[in-house]
Amino acid sequence: MVSATKQVPDPSGADSGRAPDAAGAGQPEVRPERHAAPEHTDALAAGLMRLPLRASIWKRRTLIVSLRVARLVRTGLGRVFPALRYLAKSLHRRWRRSLQFRTVLTTLLLSVTSFAVVGAYLSNQIANNLFQERLTQAESETRYNVKQVQDTFDGAQVTDQSSVITLVYDTLTAVEGRGDIIQRRYVFEAMPEQTKPRNRWVESRASDQLTVSVIPPELRKAVQQSGKDQYWASTVIPVGTEDRPGIAVGNKVTFNGTVYELYLIYDLNTAQQTLDEIQSVLWAGGAVLVLIIGAIAWYVTRNVVSPVSHAALVSEKLAAGQLQERMVVKGEDEVARLGASFNHMAASLQEQITQLATLSQMQQRFVSDVSHELRTPLTTVRMAAEVLYDARHDFDPINKRSAELLYNQVERFQSLLSDLLEISRFDAGVAVLDAEPEDILQVIAHVIEGAAPVAAEYGCEITLRAPAGGIVVEMDARRIDRILRNLILNAVEHGEGKPVNISVAANRTAVGIAVRDHGIGMTPAEAARVFDRFWRADPARARTTGGSGLGLSIAMEDTKLHNGWLQAWGKKGSGANFRLTIPLRQGEEIERSPVQLEPGEITLPGGPDGKNMLVLERGPAPVPPAPDPAPEAADSVPPRQDEHAEEPALGSGDVTSPPRSAASAARKDSP
């Protein structure tokens, strides 16, 4: 763009009287307009001042965009990872629970692996065959064309440069085979390090877009060091905008005393396209075949698994008490025979269970009726036996002994009848739990106090290992008292005079009580049957020890009412251990028992003098009683030295406190 200019007279020249320069006479004087410079400078300065502000704005915008992108990425990942984790868990759960899914997926994976291996092998073999076929053809054509080129060069009678160039060009063009499709390409290059003759006017020639760089160096080296041998190598040919695979075959030719390297390059694009089409057909056919195999596997496994799933569903309903459920049988094949056999088994089981239920009801009703009917005559017989027992001192020795035997056996009969009545209440389902929060240590102390005379009779000492303070449990104290009384008396009777250890512990959800004796013990098979009704370890069913045989059965029923566990461990010659575990609060599930079922060794207090010793709690010794207690306060409970004294935890050491009387810590009233 040409800017407008004007001529401005110079007042200084007029005043000085100087004439204008001859060289510039008649020429207008061009001067720039100076009034525009200040405005341009101000605009430039203002722009420079705004640059830091604009940079800050763009920096802030970039930061905001980066934070938003990072937030979006984090949100996306936060949604993708849980989805992937959920999908993996769903597949794993489906894999574990569905035989059909596992079978179909395994079949698909094996089919895909097999087709991949076979397809790769076939593709490799086809590619090798195509390459070998094209290589053989290329070697044959190269020998023929090189021979023609050498014969043409040997018979040429040319002496000028233009004739030589024309001859070489025409000969190589004939070798190239131009037409609609170029059959082969060439690279013609004089060998290096040879004396240049006077008439050497051709240094190198090549087809379009080719140079000697497309020839692998290893092939050039082999051709240069050989005599008349022919060599080949794979290469890449640039054709247009793409690179194609090819084969370069090299030989030596001689022209006018100069040795040249002649390379004929064959395009393998047609073979590559054929191979790609074959591979596409193989993979497409393999994918379709895999889908067909998957569908076939799904259909076959569905026909096999469906009856099995139906049988599992029917068996679950049978186990739940729906004895009328049966399988649907169709056809006469193996699955149909399985369904028929299953239905026959279910019918047989239903019949037998119905018979057993009827017999059980009759037995329970008989036991209940007999137990209730025996109460009245037994009460009369007991009253008569007590009268005779109280008057036994006036009898002769034979009648006195008979009165004592009658009294003892009536007491035994009364205990058996009470147990039978309690069992009948359990069988009738009328036993209910009267649970209230109470300190279980007080219940244990009360039971130990009641068992003290029996322990003294057997020469056995009872030790209690419990945490300091109390353990409040929602329980039916009467039933827990009965459970512990059965366990402790059973341990005393079978302990052969050895100590009985009672361990108490609690965790977050449950309290555990272990009653350990060191007597005759029992085998694992006996421990599995010890809670059966009327079962006794003695095959002769001797009555020198033990009661009615219902005590542990009743203890198990009481434990079930508390939603607890009652388990037994035994070893011949090493004693037995019974573990009672009940929840701290009714309705809660027991996670684990706080005491061990298979006990460890417990160090006992005292020496080997064999004295009876009853230890209820560990802690400081009790305060000695007053010198002359009042008669009415003789049986009262003495106060403890420190009610909240901290004691060692369960299993932390030996019982170190001196023996205390049962009355000092036990309750006086029966639950």
* pLDDT tens digits along 414-431: 777 777 777 777 777 767
Q: How far is 179 from 229, CA to CA, in rounded Å?
A: 30
Cβ neighbours of 548 (radius 10 Å) = 19
Q: Over the chain, what is the mean pLDDT?
A: 77
Dihedral angle over CA of 153, 157, 163, 167, nearest 10: -30
Give bridge partners of residue 245 from the DSSP assignment.
236
pTM for the model stands at 0.45
pLDDT band at 433 (very low <50, low <70, confident <90, very high): confident
pLDDT digits (tens, 9 = 90+) for 26-77: 444 434 444 445 555 666 666 667 777 778 888 888 888 888 888 888 888 7
Q: Give the ranges where 459-550 is alpha helix by DSSP (H).
A: 477-494, 524-529
Give the sheet arrangement for strand 204-206, strand by strand.
204-206, 184-190, 258-267, 242-255, 231-239
- The yes-or-no verdict on residue 564 having pLDDT over 80 is yes
Task: Give me the pLDDT at residue 547, please.
Answer: 57
Report the side by side order of strands in the sheet with 565-571.
565-571, 575-583, 510-517, 500-506, 462-465, 614-615
E strand map for 608-663? 614-615
Q: How would residue 614 be classed by pLDDT, with cut points 50, 70 and 90? A: very low
Query: Do 139 and 249 form a contact (C-beta atoms < 8 A)?
Result: yes
Helices of type H across 98-198: 99-154, 161-176
Out of 42-46, 407-411, 565-569, 634-638, the most confident range is 565-569
The pLDDT score that the predictor gives to residue 312 is 85
Backbone angles phi, psi at 670, to 5 degrees: -80, 140
Could you tell me the two tokens for 402?
A: 């008979």
Long-range contacts of 536-542 (CB under 8 A, 24+ apart): none
Cβ atoms < 10 Å from Cβ of 610: 10
Q: Please tell me the least confidently modeled range out of 11-15, 451-455, 600-604.
A: 11-15
508-521 burial string, b = 16+ CB within 10 Å, else e? ebbbbbbbbbbbbb
DSSP category for residue 531? T
Minimum mean pLDDT range among 70-74, 273-277, 370-374? 370-374
pLDDT in tens, 485-537: 989 998 998 888 889 999 999 998 899 999 999 888 888 888 888 888 777 66
pLDDT value for 616: 36
**Are 485 and 493 in contact, with CB atoms under 8 Å apart?**
no
Indicate if the pLDDT at residue 178 is higher than 70.
Answer: no
Q: How far is CA 381 from the centre of its chain?
A: 68
Does the pLDDT of residue 484 top 70, yes or no?
yes
